Amino acid sequence: MSNSTLNTLLKEYETKKYIADLNFEKERSSFYDSHPELAKINSELGKLAIDISKAVLNNDIDSSIKLKTEFNNLKEKKEALMKSIKIPNRRIKSNI
């Protein structure tokens, strides 16, 4: 395969990937606009994950246990909300 053919294929791939990423972001934004509570829960889960990491790094065992419990409770709330809107767990990830 020549370099020009390879370059053309790579450019096409990058263009398709870029378009797919844009479409995904639009879909995600639209989904969260219609389900703001899920967006809020995901944001809180992210913050808790950072706080847990900080507590573990600082050897603050009591805080890390408390934060992990809060994280797990919030995760259960998220799963219940996802079931109520009929979204399978594999469909929505924490970064969505």
Q: Model confidence over 22-42: pLDDT tens digits?
A: 999 999 899 889 999 999 999
> Is there a single domain that holds both residue 56 and residue 66?
yes
Residue 7: give the domain boundaries: 1-34
Predicted local distance difference test score (pLDDT) of residue 12: 96
> Is there a single domain that holds both residue 29 and residue 62?
no
> Is there a single domain that holds both residue 6 and residue 41?
no
- Which of 41, 96, 91 is closest to 70 using CA atoms? 41
Q: How far apart are CA 58 and CA 12, in angstroms?
A: 48
> Is there a single domain that holds both residue 30 and residue 40?
no
67 token code pair: 């934060």
Beta carbons of 56 and 78 less than 8 angstroms apart? no
Q: How far apart are CA 28 and CA 24, in angstroms?
A: 6
Number of domains in the chain: 2
> Is there a single domain that holds both residue 90 and residue 47?
yes
pTM, entire model = 0.68
> Is there a single domain that holds both residue 83 and residue 96?
yes
